[in-house]
Amino acid sequence: MTTMKFPKRYLVVILTFISTSVCYIERVGFSIAYTVAADAAGVNQSSKGTILSTFYYGYACSQVPGGWAAQKIGGRKVLLLSFVLWSSTCALIPLDPNRVFVMVIARLLVGVAQGFIFPSIHTVLAQWVPPHERSRSVSLTTSGMYLGAAAGMLFLPSLVKYRGPQSVFLAEAALGAMWSLLWFKYASDPPRSEHPKATAAGFGESMLPIKGSQKLKLENGGSSVRTTKIPWKKILLSLPVWAIVVNNFTFHYALYVLMNWLPTYFELGLQLSLQEMGSSKMLPYLNMFIFSNIGGVVADHLVTKRILSVTRTRKLLNTIGFIVASIALMAIPIFRTSGGAVLCSSVALGFLALGRAGFAVNHMDIAPRYAGIVMGVSNTAGTLAGIIGVDLTGKLLEAARTVDSSLSSAESWRVVFFIPGLLCIFSSLVFLLFSTGERIFD
Specify the 3-state DSSP secondary structure of 213.
strand
CA distance 27 to 157: 13
pTM recorded for the entire structure: 0.78
CA distance 378 to 243: 9
Non-local (6+) Cβ contacts of 281 within 8 A are 153, 263, 274
CA distance 85 to 173: 10
CA distance 377 to 373: 6
When computed from its CA atoms, the radius of gyration of the chain, rounded to whole angstroms, is: 22
pLDDT for residue 400: 80
Q: What is the dihedral of CA 35, 39, 41, 44, to 10 degrees?
A: 100
Specify the 3-state DSSP secondary structure of 57.
helix
Tell me whether residue 130 is exposed, middle or buried, using C-beta atoms within 10 angstroms of its C-beta: 0 to 12, 13 to 18, 19 or more.
middle
CA distance 56 to 168: 20
- 3-state SS, one letter per residue, for 84-128: HHHHHHHHHCCCCCCCHHHHHHHHHHHHHHHHCHHHHHHHHHHHH
Q: Confirm if 209 and 371 have CB atoms less than 8 A apart.
A: no
Specify the 3-state DSSP secondary structure of 426.
helix
pLDDT for residue 245: 95
Q: Model confidence over 259-308: pLDDT tens digits? A: 777 777 877 778 776 556 667 777 888 899 999 889 989 998 999 899 99
Sketch out the chain's domains with CATH numbers. 1-189 (1.20.1250.20), 231-442 (1.20.1250.20)
pLDDT for residue 142: 86
pLDDT for residue 403: 76
Listed as ranges, residues in the chain with pLDDT below 70 are 1-4, 45-46, 191-228, 273-278, 442
Quick one: which of 135, 123, 148 has its CA closest to 12? 123
Q: Model confidence over 309-346: pLDDT tens digits? A: 999 999 999 999 999 999 999 999 988 888 888 899 99
DSSP letters, 294-340, are HHHHHHHHHHHTTSS-HHHHHHHHHHHHHHHHHHHHHHGGG--SHHH
Angstrom CA distances, 438 to 67, 313, 359, 371, stand at 21, 12, 13, 14
